[in-house]
Each structure stands twice: as structure tokens, then as C-alpha cells.
Copies of this chain bind each other. A is one copy, B any other.
Amino acid sequence: MAKKEEFVKDIADIDEDFAKWYTDIVIKADLADYADTKGCIAIKPYGFAIWENIKDIADKLFKETGIKNVYFPLLIPESLLQKEKDHVEGFAPEVAFVTEAGGEKLDEKLCIRPTSETVFSTLYSKWLKSWRDLPMEYNQWCSVLRWEKETRPFLRSREFLWQEGHTIHETKEEAMKRTLKMLEIYASIVEDYLAIPVLRGKKTEKEKFSGAEETYTIETLTRDGRALQSGTSHYFGQNFTKPFEVKFQNRDGNEEYAYQTSWGISTRLIGALIMAHGDNRGLKIPPKVAPIQVRIIPIAMHKEGVLEKVHELKTRLQKDFRVEVDDRDNVTPGFKFNDCELKGIPLRIEMGPRDIENNECILVRRDTIEKITVKLDNINEEVKNILEDIQNNMFNICKQRLQEKTQIAKTMEEFEEKINTNQGYIKAMWCGNVECEDKIKERTNAHSRCIPFEQETLSDTCVCCGKKAKYMVVWGRQY
């Protein structure tokens, strides 16, 4: 990319150092910054506006299916956390504890929620009496804390924002239906709004959530071929409702434990978005979640009438789009173009005296850098169509990459060679034993991503041990 030096001097080359490119983008595109609290980030207005858009979309989709929002406490007494054995084992190493408050040492340590199954279960057990009270389907938007050793903005932060939905049901079937319904909603958010194709499937025993019967996942692929777990939905059966005594009188008058689910997506999706769509010019935000969909840059803005016309155009566009004018007088148009590209604004409009004379303006697409001169008469319609096309094009580019980076391996040699040369997903048959899963991990550094819903029979034998295969699994290295 010959022009690179001109505008993004301080961003690492995406093909040379993807990890550094990523953090450079986070900082330079004004999404977030490091905070004084180690491992935590400060989400800045531009980054937070992406999250607000994702949140609004998700919240609406949740509510359409009957989910209601609540807010439950941040602090969990240590004894509550310990009620479900697998759960506490999974989370204990990552928990932060409050031990002093109000000038005194506490009798019982309080943990900051790493997730709230224990809190929801405790409250549900208090409220649930009869089958008539079911389902209870609550969700909260909040922050959680997990004391990670290695952190990376948005992808893995000690504190992060998410939503956690927790539901209880009368029957196993209904709970499983809700579990899978939420996975479909997550897939829709990521595919239809974030323009990233997902792989849907079930986690293996080893990779499932601590305390769950089954964990379902949507996985996305980064530009450099790493896998990202981007949303999970868990079926708990009665694993929590039994120790927490979440029981009800069923239709036959007998006491029964409820069937439970939980599911979450987080600000990690912003990381997925950056890693799926960015390039050497900077970020690329899909129009549907872009805080600014169109930015207008006046050319020769000191000339009479230019600023006036530009603001007129803004007024017309803002009826349908999130639009702003960059009328800074201390930087050049060239600087503004670069800034626009760095921030990943889907469409920029250039408008100067000659354009005005011709009743035109120039549209520049962020995805292709294509320049299109259009008449002002139908400008809203033109912009609408182009934004739709950008959204689709961004999805298709990722889809094509996904196909190119998904390979089949029938032997471990093939597995190793393919993942080393082309990164990405490896499809391979698996016997179902954790020993093979561990061996594959050791040898290739690839985790099982999931047992995809869409199964194929690549061969009859496990890629690792050669014994009879049970599933086709997708494997990949992860961030």
C-alpha cells in the first residue's frame, strides 16, 4: 500500500503486526484509551457510541421476544458464589474481592460479579412459587469483572460491559428453545448489523461454561485468521436451580426444580468488528452501527456559500442518517479525508464551489475508496443505496475470507501444516475424547471452536487418535 505513509504514519502495518495494528486503531481512532486501573480501559465517546448502537439493536430484539430488563447487585457474598461447584471452580481464580468498606473490615468477603447466575438464582428462588409464574426471563446491561492476566482493549479487559440474560422455565424443552433462540438473535446481530458471518455450534465439554449442561456459541474470524468467541448461550438444566432451590409447584401439584438458561454478548463485539473489517487506512464500521454514517467535508470552505450549502446538505441528510460536517478551520481537507478513513466512517461527502455550481457532490466509500459524483436532487436516495451496498459488501468480503480460511484436515500433519500456512479454521473429525482435544491443542495451539450445527462427514475416524469419529469439529487459534 504505497500511499500509507501519507496518512497513517503511526499505525502499524496490518500485515506485518496485526496485534499492534489493532491496539493502534483502538487508540488512534479514538475508541478507547488505557486507564490508570491496570487492565481496564476508558471507552471514549466514539467507541461508546458503537456500543450504544449495538445495545439498542439487541435490546429491541430481546424485548420483542418477551425479555425484561432488571438491575441486580454488583457485589455477591462469597458464600453464594460457592453454591455451585463447577461454577466456583471456573470463576474463583478470576474474582476480585471487596474486604473493607465504610472504614471497617467486612465479616464476609464480597466478590464483584464476574457473571450473575448465583444472584439471579437466589432471587428467582425467592420469587418463584407456581408454574404460573414461569417463565421468568430477565436481562441486565451492566459491567462485570474478571481478573485476566493478559488483557487487550475490548477483546479481554478486566472490566467489560455486557448484557447477561437469565431465564427459568417450566420445562426442559422450553429452556432449550430459549437457549437456541438467543443464539439466533446473537447471530443476527453479528451478521445483519456488524456484517460479520458467524459459525454456529455447540462447545465441547472442555470449552463449555462452568456449570452449564450445554454451551452454544457464535464464532467469528479475524482478518488474520484467528477465532473469536463472540456470543454464548447456555442451557443449565437444573444445575443451579437444585443447589439454589429454585422450585415451583407444577401443573400436577408437585414440587419441581426450574430449567434455566443464561446468555451474553459484550463489548468484545467491538473488538470483533475492528478485527474483521479494518485495513491499513484504519477502522471500517458497518453503516448500521456506525456512530457517524456520513461526514461532509467542505472544500475551499472559506469561499462564499460553501459552508452554507454544506450545512444545507447536512440538514437534508440528517432526516435519514447520522451525519456530521467537519468544518474545522485549522486542518486541511486532506487531513480530514484521512481522519474520516481512520475513524471508519462508511461514507464521506466532498463538496466545493465547483460541485455546488454543478448541483453535485462527491461521495467516497470507505470500503472501496471509490469516488462517485452524484447530483444533489436525489441525494438521500443515493446515500441510502450506497450505505446498503457498503453494508452488504463488507459482509461479503468477510464471508469470502471465511471460506478461504476454512480448511479440512484428515491427518494431524495436514492439520498442522494448514493452520501454520493459512491460519483460520480447520474442520476435522473428532472422537469426542478430551485427551485428543488436549493433544490437538498442544500440537497446533488450536482450540476446539465448536461442534457446528451443520455437520459434515469428512471421514470416519478421529483426526488425532484414528478411532471412530463422533463429530466434525471446527478448530482455530484464538485471541
Contacts and interface: CB of A to CB of B under 8 A. Distances in A.
A294 interface: no
A109 B161 CA distance: 22
Contact of A119 (B35, B45, B73): B35
A44 interface: yes
Interface in A285-325: none
Interface of A: 33, 35-37, 40-45, 48-49, 51-52, 68-77, 80, 92-103, 109-110, 112, 119, 122-123, 126-127, 132, 138, 142-143, 145, 147, 149, 159, 161, 330
20 contacts: A33-B127, A35-B72, A35-B123, A36-B119, A36-B122, A40-B74, A41-B73, A43-B71, A44-B70, A45-B70, A48-B69, A52-B69, A71-B143, A73-B159, A75-B145, A96-B102, A98-B99, A99-B99, A99-B100, A101-B147
Q: Would you list the 7 A-B pairs with minimal beta carbon distance, nearest first?
A: A102-B147, A96-B101, A45-B68, A40-B73, A43-B71, A97-B100, A37-B73
A396 B263 CA distance: 45
A107 to B, nearest CB: 10
Most buried by B among A36, A95, A122: A36
A70 B97 contact: no
B68 A33 contact: no
Contacts of A51: 71
Given A33-B127, A42-B72, A48-B71, 17 more contacts: A36-B73, A37-B73, A40-B73, A41-B73, A42-B71, A42-B119, A42-B123, A49-B68, A51-B71, A73-B159, A75-B145, A93-B103, A94-B102, A95-B101, A96-B98, A101-B147, A132-B330
A74 B159 contact: yes
A37 B110 contact: yes
A27 to B, nearest CB: 11
